Structure 1
Amino acid sequence: MALGGAETRRFVLQALMGRWFMVFASLLIMSMSGATYMFGIYSGAIKTSLGYDQTTLNLLGFFKDLGANIGLMSGVINEVTPPWVVLAIGVAMNFSGYFMIWLAVTGRTPKPSVWQMCLYICVGANSQTFSNTGALVTCVKNFPESRGIVIGLLKGFTGLSGAIITQLYHAFYGNNTKDLIFLIGWLPAAVNCFFLRTVRLMKLVRQENEQKIFYHLLYISLSLAGVLMLLIILQNSIAFSRPAFAATRVQYSGPPLVAGRVQPTGKRRRLQHTASPLQHRHDHTIHSRHIRIGGTLTAIDNLGQMGKALGYPDKSVTTFVSLVSIWNYLGRVASGFSSEILLAKYKFPRPLMLTFVLLLSCVGHLLIAFGVPHSLYLASVIIGFCFGAQWPLIFAIISELFGLKYYSTLYTLGGGASPLGAYILNVKITGHLYDKEALRQLAAKGLERKKGEDLSCTGVECYKLAFLIITAATLVGCFVSLILVLRTRKFYKGDIYKKFREQANEAAE
């Protein structure tokens, strides 16, 4: 009896210290790290409480995007410290940033200056890069031959987190969007704290059924996404009470626990690895860093205001954000898994798939620009899918062209062009044109804006010109991506994972 108890303890310890429980922990961390995609839900509360116009609100959105995408610090720290240090810093930044926003919006502190609000949201959003770097980069280094699948799955859960947190928000707080800010301050921080020491670099081993296990995790996540989609459809047609949301809350944490039982193996060791970089790497840096130009970020950040301008009911705003979240997830896992399959079987280059994704996103932008009746639902689906699909492709391309030795730093630099594009397209173009149209509408009614009053616009014209400009900018991104396809075509015709297989075989001998 005592022997059985000892064996059970050994098995449990092996499971908790194994590679697959580490993957499970990373999935939960990533499923709580997408709060920045929910800005469309709580931005209205900020705008009304603090009396902002759309340009000021979009400036706040820009600093959110700046924090969420400029993760150089997290990458540098992750190069020289264990992953738990990076995750711990992210915990502190997440809670402090969003907690200060919540205090300001609820009137618990004096009204802060705009620059203070920009600082708060930038700090809070920047915590996302620490979670992403600590969890995702570690998993990629632990499973280098499945990098496309790993990135797609983990980034997929980041995309899905918006829908997960939205349902938890309704269960905990009903429809008070101010309390949503508080939720995204404490919940991700709590999850990260719980798994701080679980996420770590391990000995590089090669398992024959590795990809099969990841496919099982994919099926579990697809089931979760299906449940969330069903809830969204029901919520759009049936009035859910808070107890009804609470009753369904258990579904969100149940299915992924299966991952914790999958083959617990492995022990801790610092992974020392480098992949051969591609020649003329500076040419690829220019293209890889400027493919993303912020158009989809602008659409996501303005979903709440677009729904209001086009006359959609208030409950549709959370529907749009949830749709973006779920299709963001589907785009990430679809591009991650499919690009890996197409690359392995047909040598289909990832940059070409990225070009197609950018082209598809133009359809969503045009639907918004022309305000087709009820099209914002479809636009949310297209934009969410395309936004999600870009990330695994970009990060996998970076890892393939430059190797994994400095991947923590390269990963955090991958989305560096997004804030610049978001500032130009969101603040200088979309916000400015929205406010201009809103002031024109006030003048047409013989009214003037009162001091401290938020500035609202209604009708298709609020966003039409802005999204036509965004469509044109995205087409430029397609052209740049096509150049990358041409410059890397010889590289993707070769065996890009040969070196990893050789190193895994050497480690096994």
Structure 2
Amino acid sequence: MNVFTIRSAVQSVCFVILLLLVLSPVAVALKAQKPESMQHEESTSEQRIGLLREEVAEGSDSAGSSTALGGSNLDLSAGKENLNVLQAMGKLNFWLLFLAMACGMGSGLATVNNISQIGGSLGYTSKETSTLVSLWSIWNFSGRFGAGFISDHFLRQRGVGRPFFIGATLLIMSVGHVIISSGLAASLYIGSVLVGLCYGCQWALMPSITSEIFGLNHFGTIFNMVAVASPVGSYILSVRVVGYIYDMESPPDEHACQGKHCFALSFFIMACVCLFGSAVAFVLFIRTRKFYRQVVYARLKSFLEK
């Protein structure tokens, strides 16, 4: 049988062309935002209060703080910069959120993309791996629903910023990856439940954090720029980590790998990646806690007291 093969150079050219086509909508969005960004910086640079108030003086007395918070609704609403995508990408908080999402969403997608191979390595039947995918979908939905409710509750009651829950879910996700890497009985069921639950939580929390930190005027563009972290992280972890190690552990004359050694190292690496992402998310939480307490929490309290 004659098999037609494409040269690696041709494959590389096709890859670059496809990559440019995929990124072309981003170029359109950036071009549309640039004139507005320049005009905004020239005309209102002195009027912007700054969303996170990172330069708020540490020595401000409590009386002044309460006056600033309770004085008027204008103070609360003016604390929210409605940044466009270029301005948002110029903020450290954007990249902290992006990096945390790349670690969490990327490792979550890498897990579900390779769950059939993992099940096959451990001797699961096709029916059992199908059940795992179904369980993943159920817990993914549960995470999206539960994360919104829990984060809303703690934000209303205690003023806890949502980035805290991103960090917490990444910690739990790290535990899930470690459980899967152990290869013990039922470890794939337990680990996939934890990873799927936390993956859903992150998709529920990320849009809310994006709107609260960067404003609503350009929410759609900024949200989708942050969401790019998901395929980026998935490609790195799924192809360059899980796939590469799986192929490396497979016997040269076989296409499949059997045993927990096929994926143990890759899931341990993803556990470390999630730990790193959790640390990044907690840095974002520390940087934004004043904003959540002084602006978001105060606004919610004033709304509920009406």
Smaller-chain TM-score bracket: 0.5 to 0.7
Q: Is 1:323 aligned with 2:127?
A: no
2:111 to 279, 296, 299: 299
1:286 deviation in Å? 1.4
Q: Is 1:290 aligned with 2:104?
A: no
Would the aligned equivalents of 2:246 and 2:257 in 1 still touch at CA under 8 Å?
Answer: yes
Would the aligned equivalents of 2:82 and 2:217 in 1 still touch at CA under 8 Å?
Answer: no
Distance 2:133 2:249 in 1: 25
Distance 1:494 1:291 in 2: 24
Q: Is 1:379 aligned with 2:183?
A: no
**Amino acid across the alignment from 1:382:** L
1:464 deviation in Å? 0.6
Would the aligned equivalents of 1:275 and 1:499 in 2 still touch at CA under 8 Å?
Answer: no
Q: Which runs of 4+ in 1 moved over 4 A?
A: 69-73, 278-281, 497-503
Would the aligned equivalents of 2:160 and 2:289 in 1 still touch at CA under 8 Å?
Answer: no
1:419 deviation in Å? 2.2
Normalising by structure 1, we get a TM-score of 0.42
Q: Is 1:308 aligned with 2:120?
A: yes
Residue aligning to 2:81: 277
2:163 to 351, 368, 381: 351
Would the aligned equivalents of 1:309 and 1:459 in 2 still touch at CA under 8 Å?
Answer: yes
- Which has the bigger relative contact order, CA under 8 A and spacing at least 6? 2
- 1:403-422 residue pairs with structure 2 within 5 A? 403-422=215-234
Distance 2:285 2:244 in 1: 35
1:333 deviation in Å? 0.6
Q: How many residues align?
A: 231
Would the aligned equivalents of 1:72 and 1:409 in 2 still touch at CA under 8 Å?
Answer: no
Q: Secondary structure at the match of 2:227?
A: coil
Q: Is 1:486 aligned with 2:262?
A: no
Cα gap change, 1:71 to 1:392, in 2 (>3 Å): farther
Cα gap change, 1:278 to 1:343, in 2 (>3 Å): farther
Cα gap change, 1:72 to 1:477, in 2 (>3 Å): farther
Residue aligning to 2:35: none
Deviations 1:381-435 (A, max 9, x none): 1111010001111111110001110011011112222222222211111111101
Cα gap change, 1:414 to 1:71, in 2 (>3 Å): farther
Distance 2:169 2:23 in 1: 23
Distance 1:407 1:274 in 2: 17
Residue aligning to 2:56: none
Residue aligning to 2:203: 391
**Amino acid across the alignment from 2:173:** S
Deviations 1:305-356 (A, max 9, x none): 1111100121011110111100001111110111111101110111111111
Deviations 1:249-272 (A, max 9, x none): xxxxxxxxxxxxxxxxxxxxxxxx
Distance 2:160 2:300 in 1: 20
Cα gap change, 1:313 to 1:298, in 2 (>3 Å): same
**Amino acid across the alignment from 1:345:** Q
Distance 1:71 1:399 in 2: 24
Residue aligning to 2:261: 461
Distance 2:164 2:300 in 1: 24
Would the aligned equivalents of 2:82 and 2:216 in 1 still touch at CA under 8 Å?
Answer: no
Distance 2:152 2:300 in 1: 15
Identity %: 35
Would the aligned equivalents of 1:332 and 1:392 in 2 still touch at CA under 8 Å?
Answer: yes
Would the aligned equivalents of 2:163 and 2:285 in 1 still touch at CA under 8 Å?
Answer: yes
Would the aligned equivalents of 2:156 and 2:297 in 1 still touch at CA under 8 Å?
Answer: no
Distance 1:386 1:501 in 2: 29
Distance 2:293 2:300 in 1: 17
Q: Secondary structure at the match of 2:141?
A: helix
Would the aligned equivalents of 1:361 and 1:382 in 2 still touch at CA under 8 Å?
Answer: yes
Cα gap change, 1:402 to 1:71, in 2 (>3 Å): farther
Normalising by structure 2, we get a TM-score of 0.68
**Amino acid across the alignment from 2:171:** L
Q: Which moved more, 1:277-286 or 1:354-363?
A: 277-286
Listed as ranges, the gaps of 5+ residues in structure 2 are 1-18, 33-76
Deviations 1:457-490 (A, max 9, x none): 1110110111111111111101111110110010
1:275 deviation in Å? 8.1
RMSD of the alignment, in Å? 3.3
Distance 2:302 2:150 in 1: 25
Deviations 1:273-301 (A, max 9, x none): 99822899512111111112211211111
Cα gap change, 1:359 to 1:472, in 2 (>3 Å): same
Q: Secondary structure at the match of 2:216?
A: coil
